[in-house]
Structure 1
Amino acid sequence: MMLVEATTAFLLVIDVQERLLPAVANNVAVERNCAVLLKAASEMEVPAVVSEQYPRGLGKTVPALAELVGDDAIFAKVEFSCARDLGLMAHIEGLGRKQAILCGLEAHICVLQTALELKRRGFEVFVAVDAIGSRADSSKEIARDRMNAAGIAIVTAEMVVFEMMKTAAAPQFKLLSKLIQ
Structure 2
Amino acid sequence: MSAFKYNRIDKNEAMLLVVDHQEGLFQLSRDHSPAEMKSNILAHAALGKIFGLPTILTSSAETGPNGPLPAEVIAMHANAPFIKRNGEVNAWDNADFRAAVEATGKKQVILAGITTDVCTAFLALSLVEAGYTVFANADASGTFDDKTAADANARMRAAGVQVLSLFAVACELMRDWRNTPGAPEMLPFFDTYLPEYGYLARAHDAAVKNGTPSGL
TM over 0.5: yes
Letter in 2 for 1:83: W
- Match of residue 18, structure 2, among 13, 19, 25: 13
- Match of residue 89, structure 2, among 63, 68, 80: 80
SS in structure 2 at match of 1:83:
helix
Query: Could you tell me which residue of structure 1 aligns to residue 75 of structure 2?
Result: 67
Query: What does 1:32-181 correspond to in 2, within 5 Å?
Result: 32-57=39-64, 58-70=66-78, 72-77=80-85, 78-173=87-182, 174-180=184-190, 181=198
1:130 shift after superposition: 1.0
Larger radius of gyration: 2
Say whether 1:4 aligns with 2:9.
yes
1:3 shift after superposition: 0.6
SS in structure 1 at match of 2:137:
strand
Under a length normalisation based on structure 1, what TM-score does the superposition of the two structures give?
A: 0.93
SS in structure 2 at match of 1:130:
helix
Deviation beyond 6 Å, 4+ runs, structure 1: none
Letter in 1 for 2:81: A
Whole-Å separation in 2 of the counterparts to 1:95 and 1:32 = 27
1:72 shift after superposition: 4.4
Of stretches 90-99 and 66-75 in structure 1, the one that deviates more from structure 2 is 66-75
Say whether 1:28 aligns with 2:35.
yes
Q: Alpha-carbon deviations, 1:146-176, whole Å to 9, x = none?
A: 1111111011111111111121112322222
Higher strand share: 1
SS in structure 1 at match of 2:37:
helix
Aligned sequence identity (%): 23
1:89 shift after superposition: 0.7
Of stretches 69-78 and 146-155 in structure 1, the one that deviates more from structure 2 is 69-78
Whole-Å separation in 2 of the counterparts to 1:149 and 1:177 = 34
Of stretches 11-20 and 131-140 in structure 1, the one that deviates more from structure 2 is 131-140
Whole-Å separation in 2 of the counterparts to 1:67 and 1:105 = 20
Structure 2 alignment gaps of length 5 or more: 1-5, 191-197, 199-216
Whole-Å separation in 2 of the counterparts to 1:157 and 1:115 = 17
Q: Is the Cα contact below 8 Å between 1:103 and 1:127 reproduced in 2?
A: yes
Whole-Å separation in 2 of the counterparts to 1:4 and 1:34 = 19
Under a length normalisation based on structure 2, what TM-score does the superposition of the two structures give?
A: 0.79
Q: Alpha-carbon deviations, 1:8-65, whole Å to 9, x = none?
A: 1001111011211123112432331232222222121111111101111111102232
